[in-house]
Amino acid sequence: MFADYSITELTSIFAMQGFAGLILFSVFVLMALGLAIIFGQMGVINMAHGEFMILGAYVTYLTSSLFAEYLPSVYGSYFFIAMIFAFIVTAALGALVEWSIIRHLYKRPLDTLLATWGLSLILQQLYRTVFGAREVGVTLPDWLMGSYALSDSIEIPINGLFVMGLTIFITVGVALMMQKSRLGKQTRAVVQNRPMAAAVGINTEKVDRMTFALGCGIAGIAGSAFTMIGSTGPTSGQLYIVDTFLVVVFGGASSLIGTVASAFTISQAQSTMEFFLSGSTAKVLTLLTVVGILMLRPQGLFSLKIRR
């Protein structure tokens, strides 16, 4: 396959392919992080995760139209504002959903699956009614488009670099928050032992709501970032949901490090195989490997060692 190419050509292609794998890794982490918090910490199977992401994308779309209309002079920086808006709006919706639906179902985890799946259908139809069945095009500021030429033949997509930066920022932020902040400590306490946490005076209902809202908010940021690389339509969220669950379950539901490790493994495996095999075959092989490993290790790559 490589006989006809010069060494320099091959080097640059492999460099770019390495970056492609890293970008895919960042995308996986970003989309799985919100779900990992909700599924891992609370045990809620949130099938509407993709729709929360798309809500973030729609908020980005609205912000971009708003800036184009009223503040064209600072259009280049709208993307940051959009991500903040996306976080606020999706977190608010998350809190509302937790209050109205999820909190009644904590003792019945399989029912959360059904309820959030229903929610995802409702949200899809809502988007269709409000924004129309067609996809909307989110215009990006010019500085986010195009590529950065590292050398003559190595070109790195700028939006990919942006997603990587964002992912690192959010992952570190979430990790710090879970380890250091009051909410993080409370969340972990509630996960490990709910009655005891309540006994020491932690408002577990509030913690649940904040955790769910946080997970949804991060999904919103992810959705906002993904307007750079994917489509924004009523059902676009469905494009991400399978990969998202794959990453979270493979990583071991209750561990954020597991999520990162599993995103890394899956993305590297997939992007390498995509390069050497055809796209569909790569996908099949990735799924087969994950299924195989989960059969041997049902708890996923990493799991919390706590006494149940």
Give 137 or 173: the residue with its C-beta nearer to other proteins.
137
In angstroms, the CA 249 to CA 243 distance is: 10
Task: Give the shortest CB-141-to-other proteins separation in angstroms.
Answer: 11
Tokens of 282: 């790569």
Task: Give the shortest CB-273-to-other proteins separation in angstroms.
Answer: 9
Name the segment binding other proteins (CB under 8 A); options: 71-79, 191-199, 229-237, 248-256.
229-237
- How far from each other are the two terminal CA atoms of the chain, in whole angstroms? 53
Size of the site for other proteins (CB under 8 A): 52
Examine residue 192 and tell whether it contacts other proteins (CB under 8 A). Answer: no
In angstroms, the CA 155 to CA 165 distance is: 17
Give 22 or 102: the residue with its C-beta nearer to other proteins.
22
Tokens of 57: 């994308």
Cα angle for residues 26, 28, 34 (degrees, 5° grid)? 105
Which of 70, 130, 200, 280 touches other proteins by CB under 8 A?
280
Q: Which of residues 65-104 bind other proteins (CB under 8 A)?
A: none
What is 231-277 written as a DSSP string? -BSTTTTHHHHHHHHHHHHHH-TT-HHHHHHHHHHHHHHHHHHHHHS
Question: Considering Cα of 87, then 89, then 94, then 99, what sign does the dihedral take?
Answer: positive
Give 192 or 268: the residue with its C-beta nearer to other proteins.
268
Examine residue 13 and tell whether it contacts other proteins (CB under 8 A). Answer: yes
Residues forming contacts to other proteins in the complex (CB under 8 A) are 5, 9, 13, 16-17, 19-20, 23-24, 27, 124-125, 128, 132-140, 145-147, 149, 155, 157-160, 226, 228-236, 238-240, 270-271, 274-275, 278-280, 283
